[in-house]
Amino acid sequence: MSIANKANRLTPYVFMAPAAIILTVALLYPICYMIYASFLDWSPSQRIGEADFVGLRNYANLLQDAAFRESFWVTIKFAAVVVTLEMIIGVGLALLLDRNIKGMSTLRTIFILPMMIAPIVVGLMWRYMYHPTVGIFNRTLKSWGFEGIPWLSDSNWSFVAVVMADVWQWTPFIFILSLAAMQSLPRSALEAAEIDGATEMQKIFFIKLPLMLPVLIVTLMLRLIDAFKVLEVIMVLTNGGPGLSTEIVALRIFRTAQEFQELGEAAAMSNTLLMVLMALTIGMFMYNKMQENRAVRMKAAASKGAV
Amino acid sequence: MPKIVLEGLVKRYGAFEVLHGIDLEMEADEFTVFVGPSGCGKSTTLRMIAGLESVTEGEIYIDGKPVSHLEPKARDLAMVFQDYALYPHMNVAKNMSFALRLQRRPKAEIDAKIADVAETLGLTQFLHRKPGELSGGQRQRVAMGRALTRDSGTFLFDEPLSNLDAKLRGQMRAELALMSQRVKKNMIYVTHDQIEAMTLADRIVVMNGGYIQQQGSPEELFKKPVNKFVAGFLGMPPMNFLDGEVAEKAGEIYVEGQDFSVKLSREKADAIRAHSGRKVTLGIRPSDLVYSPDAADEQSLLLNIVVSEYVGAQTVLLCECGGQKIDVELKSDIPIDRNRQLRFAINPEGVHLFDQDTEAAL
| DSSP H helical ranges for chain A | 3-23, 29-37, 57-64, 66-97, 104-116, 119-129, 136-143, 155-183, 187-195, 200-202, 209-228, 232-237, 249-258, 263-304
Of residues A196, A211, A299, nearest to B98 (C-beta): A196
CA closest to A307 among chain B residues: B137
Q: Do B71 and A194 touch (CB under 8 A)?
A: yes
Closest Cα in chain B, distance from residue A117 (Å): 38
Closest Cα in chain B, distance from residue A296 (Å): 10
Using the Cβ of A185 and the Cβ atoms of chain B, whether some distance falls under 8 Å is answered with no
Of residues A198, A298, A303, nearest to B102 (C-beta): A198
Q: Do B135 and A189 touch (CB under 8 A)?
A: no
CA closest to B132 among chain A residues: A298
Which residues in chain B have Cβ-Cβ distances shorter than 8 Å to A198? 73, 98, 102
Of residues B83, B132, B171, nearest to A302 (C-beta): B132
Of residues B82, B103, B168, nearest to A197 (C-beta): B103
3-state DSSP of chain B? CCCEEEEEEEEEECCEEEEEEEEEEECCCCEEEEECCCCCCHHHHHHHHHCCCCCCEEEEEECCEECCCCCHHHHCEEEECCCCCCCCCCCHHHHHHHHHHHCCCCHHHHHHHHHHHHHHHCCHHHCCCCHHHCCHHHHHHHHHHHHHHCCCCEEEEECCCCCCCHHHHHHHHHHHHHHHHHCCCEEEEEECCHHHHHHHCCEEEEEECCEEEEEECHHHHHHCCCEHHHHHHCCCCCCEEEEEEEEEECCEEEEEECCEEEECCHHHHHHHHHHCCCEEEEEECHHHEEECCCCCHHHEEEEEEEEEEECCCEEEEEEEECCEEEEEEEECCCCCCCCCEEEEEECHHHEEEEECCCCEEC
Which residues in chain A have Cβ-Cβ distances shorter than 8 Å to B145? none
B181-240 residues touching A, CB cutoff 8 A: none
Q: Do B81 and A192 touch (CB under 8 A)?
A: yes
A195-254 residues touching B, CB cutoff 8 A: 195-198, 202, 206-207, 210-211, 213
CA closest to A201 among chain B residues: B102
Using the Cβ of B318 and the Cβ atoms of chain A, whether some distance falls under 8 Å is answered with no
Which residues in chain B have Cβ-Cβ distances shorter than 8 Å to A191? 52, 79, 81, 85
Interface residue of A191, A195, A205 to substitute, partner B, most B CBs within 10 Å: A195
B38-67 residues touching A, CB cutoff 8 A: 50-52
- At residue A240, the pLDDT reads 77
Instruction: Give residue-wise pLDDT tens across range A219-233.
Output: 998 899 889 888 888
Domain boundaries, chain B: 4-233, 240-355
Q: Do B135 and A191 touch (CB under 8 A)?
A: no
- At residue B307, the pLDDT reads 87
Cα A300 to chain centroid, rounded: 36
Using the Cβ of B254 and the Cβ atoms of chain A, whether some distance falls under 8 Å is answered with no
B288-307 residues touching A, CB cutoff 8 A: none
- At residue A307, the pLDDT reads 43
Cis peptide preceding A242, ω within 30 of 0? yes
The architecture in CATH of the region B240-355 reads Beta Barrel (2.40)
Beta carbons of A215 and A181 less than 8 angstroms apart: yes
Q: Do A302 and B134 touch (CB under 8 A)?
A: yes
| Whole-number Å distance between alpha carbons of A246 and A249 | 10
* A–B CB contacts, 8 A cutoff, strictly below: 83
| Whole-number Å distance between alpha carbons of A264 and A111 | 42
Beta carbons of B331 and B313 less than 8 angstroms apart: yes
* Whether the domain at B4-233 and the domain at B240-355 fall into the same CATH topology: no
Out of 3.40.50.300, 1.10.645.10, 1.10.150.120, 3.90.550.10, select the CATH number for domain B4-233.
3.40.50.300
CA closest to A214 among chain B residues: B89
> With respect to CATH, is domain A60-304 assigned 1.10.3720.10?
yes
Is it the case that residue A91 has pLDDT exceeding 90?
Answer: yes
Is it the case that residue A246 has pLDDT exceeding 90?
Answer: no
Which residues in chain B have Cβ-Cβ distances shorter than 8 Å to A211? 88-89
Instruction: Give, for all 362 residues of chain B, the pLDDT tens digit.
Output: 678 999 999 999 988 999 999 999 998 889 999 999 988 999 999 999 999 999 999 999 998 899 999 999 888 899 999 999 999 999 999 999 999 999 999 999 999 999 999 988 888 999 998 888 888 888 989 999 999 898 888 999 999 888 888 888 888 888 888 888 888 888 999 999 988 999 999 999 999 999 999 999 999 999 999 999 999 999 888 999 999 998 888 888 888 888 888 888 888 888 888 777 888 999 999 999 998 888 888 888 888 888 888 888 888 999 998 888 999 998 888 877 767 788 999 998 889 999 988 888 88
Beta carbons of B191 and B32 less than 8 angstroms apart: no
Which residues in chain B have Cβ-Cβ distances shorter than 8 Å to A297? 133
Q: Do A188 and B77 touch (CB under 8 A)?
A: no
| Whole-number Å distance between alpha carbons of A247 and A28 | 29
Domain boundaries, chain A: 60-304
Q: How confident is the model at residue A248 (pLDDT cuts 50, 70, 90)?
A: confident
| Whole-number Å distance between alpha carbons of B286 and B308 | 13
Instruction: Give residue-wise pLDDT tens across range A168-201.
Output: 999 999 999 999 899 889 889 999 999 999 999 9
Q: Do A303 and B81 touch (CB under 8 A)?
A: no
Rg of the Cα atoms in chain A: 25
Query: Is the confidence metric ipTM above 0.85 for this complex?
Result: no
CA closest to A295 among chain B residues: B132
Q: How confident is the model at residue A90 (pLDDT cuts 50, 70, 90)?
A: very high
Closest Cα in chain B, distance from residue A189 (Å): 4
Q: Which residues pair with B301 in a beta bridge?
A: B344
| Whole-number Å distance between alpha carbons of B103 and B117 | 18
Beta carbons of A114 and A169 less than 8 angstroms apart: yes
CA closest to A209 among chain B residues: B89
